[in-house]
Structure 1
Amino acid sequence: MTTFADLGIDPDIVDALAAKGIVDAFPIQEQTIPLGLPGQDIIGQAKTGTGKTFGFGIPVVQRLGLNPEHGVKALIVVPTRELAVQVYEDIDLLTSNRSTSVVAIYGGKAYEGQIDQLKAGAQIVVGTPGRLIDLAGQRLLDLSNATEVVLDEADKMLDLGFLADIEKIFQKVPAVRHTQLFSATMPGPIVALARRFMTNPIHIRANDPDEGLTQANIKHLVYRAHSLDKDEIIARILQAEGRGKTVIFTRTKRAAQRLVDELGDRGFNVGGVHGDMGQDQRERSMAAFKAGKRDVLVATDVAARGIDVDDVTHVINHTIPDEDKTYLHRAGRTGRAGKTGIAVTFVDWEDLHKWALINRALEFGQPEPVETYSSSPHLFEELNIPAGTKGRLVSAPKTQSVKTERTPRPERAAVAAAEGTDEGGTRRRRRRRGGANPVGSTFAEGAEASTSADSASESSADRSAEGAGTHDGAGKEHHDGKPAPARRRRRRRGGSGGAGAAPVVGA
């Protein structure tokens, strides 16, 4: 096994890597670093998770020297915000023993902090195309001295429609430069881009000839599952023996958030990363997952290339991706750094044609996914799930206490009626009862009628009068349209007269 010290790398960089337990080089690093150090243009192609970042990062850092001058000397362009954060952290590690400063430039964050770092003289910029062009257009980012240029995950930039932005960026960097292009796949437009903007590049493929199109250290399981049973299946997989950190991919942002809520309700420690979340929320969720505070991460494909965590044991495709390249990048979140992993894919009945294309492209040899339910014996056997496992870690919340508070109310009201008290009445009912009658007086035994027939007819006439029950806002009237003082005096007269008028009516 070749170590970084054997590749002619500066001792301070070797020490920085060794401090993190990184000593041996992967094949892509072993092949690209000796060519990149003297300034050879490189097209590096290797499967995701094989160490491409250090493959281009070490030559960039070392070629800038121990004490580079202030100002942008190196530019690393990445397609997504999550990948920008990941690459920034790796480059920051490489420069930890040097005066070189690194800044991450990407959208969703405030401009001020990024601009301050640029003004402070940062020498290496890691950024996404949109924010880079934005700051360059405002003359806040000067790329005229960026002699080291790297395109990482170039095929993803093609998928996201960044090809025109990449051409704009190349127009802002020096014509004489050292250019490196790294990607897991190499479609035709990317090859054409390399020919336009690179000088005699060497194309390096770091693939084992006997490995096939997918990583040999990843176990691929494909199930035909019903959409209503997927959550239960996933919840049982998350209780498999030996299960470590797990990434679950969904097709849409709404499905991702729904699954986060569902798994959280079932008792799992889960976080999410998708486009409806703010950038700060996404970064906090990703940081919690990397730190082990959460062991389940639900994400859309926006994060498929920004999750660089070595101890991910399972990847679950809640919905099947649209193409084989997306499948490779999803599955590549596990089995990283030479470790083993498991990739589980659910195929809906209506998505069988998509699986047929992926199966043919990646040579899986499994044209018909196995029909699987949460109770299927082969699911428990293949994923090492303990027998009798259910899809919930915590019991459902009990609502009995809420019901027991509300049910006695009618009983208390009945008792209050029998005893002649006002206990059990609702606040709304008490507010309605006004005038001289105390609340609950109608339930008092032997209580006299508080209103006479005359007052009752008067009240009825008031309610049937034109405009009664409305308020036109033209004065200080109440809802019956009469001035407030007169209405109160009428009630008092009616209340007192009603009690005295009763004998006259009886006579």
Structure 2
Amino acid sequence: MSNKNSSNLRFSELSLSPKIMRALDEMNFEFCSPIQAKSLPYSLSSHDVVGKAQTGTGKTAAFLIAVFEDLLKERANDVRYAGEARALIIAPTRELVVQIAKDAQQIGKYTDLKIHTLVGGMDYGRQLNKLHSSLVDILVATPGRLLDFCEKREVYLDQLEVLVVDEADRMLDMGFIPQIKRIIRLAPKNTHRQTLLFSATFPEDVLRLSEQWTHEPIRVEIEPESIATDTVDQKVYLVSTDEKLTLLTNLFRDPDVGNLIVFANRRDQCKRLHDQLSRRNLKVGLLTGDIPQSKRIRTLDDFKKGKLDALVATDVAGRGIHINDVTHVVNYTLPEEPEDYVHRIGRTGRAGASGVSISFACEEDAFHLPAIEELLGRKINCEQPPSHLLKK
């Protein structure tokens, strides 16, 4: 977890509890990032907050610090039951849930607060046994698996003190809103809990939902330009569809390319690309939404350990990836949603390092460029790829 793009507000100025400050000091968190500086003074005062912030801006730490401080400040009920959560964090993908829980373990390492995760694609019985083995202070979950547990009366949300909805726009895109509405109906009403909602964008539907789910919220915004796109050298190579695979294969041989993530829009595109690269004796991992969670975690670990040359991923699988030393991101196909472009290139140029994003634009992809440039607020240089990258 990095804290780049710092503001002038120090964590030591926020009157945080000693246990949280000790963990933040060990993580070298001295200054708040902009979203933390804007949201924490309100969330720490028990206000509801609706925040506009992209992945990679420090929003996870922003809501986790608020959650921990609330639970440490308020004493838990003397009588508690298994599966009765005090705080709930809902996120759209399994990877993001796992990452949030990992960050929570770091921030809360000196507290005795118990963190549990519920995600689909992993052993139901094991998650159930863990729920029964210790009380739940902070529950991090994907909507579908959480509802499974609620409907079987293994998880109870009626005692929630804090509710966090992360990446609300992505929840909307993935069709999770009906599930989240059912989850929220199981929680105390919005005047009897604190609600923190974060979204990379604020489409009308998300704004309407935020009004229903929160009570007199403070709204804070960090514009996309605040993301460290200035640390990413963005290139667009104009190519035909037939040239893409040759271009990508040659990029693997470029000595400047270290850890590489390749994005495509659909599962079938990723699977085909993974097979084609594997046949060229390249060690490539595949991350798509239909791959079992345990296998996805192993793939990510192999990539972090340098056992793989690259990852091929869809946006759903790629959203929760936090790896600090990714040197290059390739958009094999340009995303249809401009916000996804920003998320993709945000996988590189992290933690103060510089990175490179290379987008392959054939005739079909080029239609998506104007909307991406409008979101970025600037033109992206389009060029012919160097001739040596097109050699068969």
TM-score calculated relative to the size of structure 2: 0.88
Instruction: Report deviation, 1:361.
Output: 4.3
Distance 1:212 1:228 in 2: 36
Aligned pairs (5 A) from 1:102-501: 102-119=115-132, 120-175=134-189, 176-207=192-223, 211=225, 215-366=229-380, 369-372=382-385, 375=388
Alpha carbons of structure 1 residues 323 and 288: separation in structure 2 relative to 1, 3 Å: same
The CA deviation at 1:267 is: 4.6
- Residue number among 5, 8, 13 corresponding to 2:12 in the alignment: 5
Corresponding position of 2:66: 59
Question: Residues 35, 242 of structure 1: CA spacing in aligned structure 2 closer, same or farther, 3 A cutoff?
Answer: farther
Q: CA 1:301–1:199 in structure 2 vs 1: closer, same or farther (change >3 Å)?
A: same
Q: Structure 1 stretch 129-138 or stretch 50-59: which is displaced more? A: 129-138
- What is residue 94 of structure 2 aligned with on the other side? 81
Whether the 8 Å contact between 2:56 and 2:227 is mirrored in structure 1 is no
Structure 2 unaligned segments of length 5 or more: list them: 1-7
Where 2:327 maps in the other structure, the secondary structure is strand
Post-superposition offset of 1:236: 3.0
8 Å CA contact 1:271, 1:296 repeated in 2? yes
Give the equivalent residue in structure 2 for 1:33: 40
One-letter amino acid of the structure 2 residue matched with residue 181 of structure 1:
L
CA distance in 1, matches of 2:240, 2:324: 31
Query: Given that residues 72 and 146 in structure 1 are in contact (C-alpha distance below 8 angstroms), is that contact kept between their aligned partners in structure 2?
Result: yes
Q: CA deviation at 1:54?
A: 0.2
Please tell me whether the aligned partners of residues 50 and 337 of structure 1 are also in contact (alpha carbons under 8 angstroms): no
In structure 2, what is the Cα distance between the partners aligned to 1:39 and 1:89? 24
Alpha-carbon distance change, 2 to 244 in structure 1, aligned in 2, over 3 angstroms: farther
**Pairing 1:100–2:113 present:** yes
Q: Mark the CA change 1:291 to 1:51 in structure 2 (over 3 Å): closer, same or farther.
A: farther
Distance of 2:11 and 2:309 partners within structure 1: 31
- 8 Å contact 1:51–1:337 — kept in the other structure? no
In structure 2, what is the Cα distance between the partners aligned to 1:310 and 1:22? 16
The one-letter code sitting in structure 1 at the alignment partner of 2:43 is G
Moved more, 90-99 or 6-15: 6-15
Distance verdict in 2 for CA 1:38–1:169, change over 3 Å: same
Q: Secondary structure at the match of 1:28?
A: helix
1:233 Cα deviation from its structure 2 partner: 1.7
Range with greater deviation from structure 2 (279-288 or 52-61): 279-288
**Residue type of the alignment partner of 1:186:** F
Offset at residue 171 of structure 1 (A): 0.6
Q: Compute the displacement of 1:152 (Å).
A: 0.5
Q: CA separation in 2, counterparts of 1:39 and 1:290?
A: 38
Deviations 1:172-205 (A, max 9, x none): 1111100001121111111111111111111111
SS of corresponding position for 1:262: helix
Please state whether the residue corresponding to 2:229 is helix, strand or coil: coil
CA contact 2:87–2:137 (8 Å) conserved in 1: yes
Relative contact order higher in (CA < 8 Å, ≥ 6 apart): 2
Paired residues of 1:152 and 1:182 also in contact (CA < 8 A): yes
Cα 1:51–1:314 change in 2 (3 A) is same
1:45 aligns with 2:57: no
Matched, 1:24 2:31: yes
Q: Deviations over 1:255-296 (max 9, x none)?
A: 323333333444544212113422211111122223444352
- Percent sequence identity over matched residues? 36
- Alpha carbon RMSD of aligned pairs, Å? 2.5
Summarize deviations over 1:52-89 as a string: whole Å, max 9, x none: 10000011012111884653100000011111111111
Q: Larger C-alpha radius of gyration, 1 or 2? A: 1
SS in 1 for 2:351: helix
Contact 2:53 2:223 in 1 (8 A): yes
SS in 1 for 2:388: coil
Does structure 1 retain, via aligned residues, the 8 Å contact 2:287–2:318?
no
Local SS of the residue matching 1:65: helix
1:209-241, CA deviations, whole angstroms, 9 ceiling, x for partnerless residues? xx4788322221111222232223223333444
Q: Structure 2 CA distance, aligned partners of 1:82 and 1:4?
A: 28
Check conservation: 2:115, 2:137, Cα contact below 8 A: yes
Report if the CA contact (8 A) 1:83-1:305 is conserved.
Answer: yes
Residues 34, 283 of structure 1: alpha-carbon distance in 2 compared, 3 angstrom cutoff = same
Change (3 A) 1:206 1:363: closer
Determine the structure 2 residue equivalent to 1:444: none
Following superposition, the deviation at residue 360 of structure 1 comes to: 4.0
Using the TM superposition, name which of 89-98 and 269-278 deviates more. 269-278
- How far apart, CA to CA, are the structure 2 residues paired with 1:267 and 1:161? 38
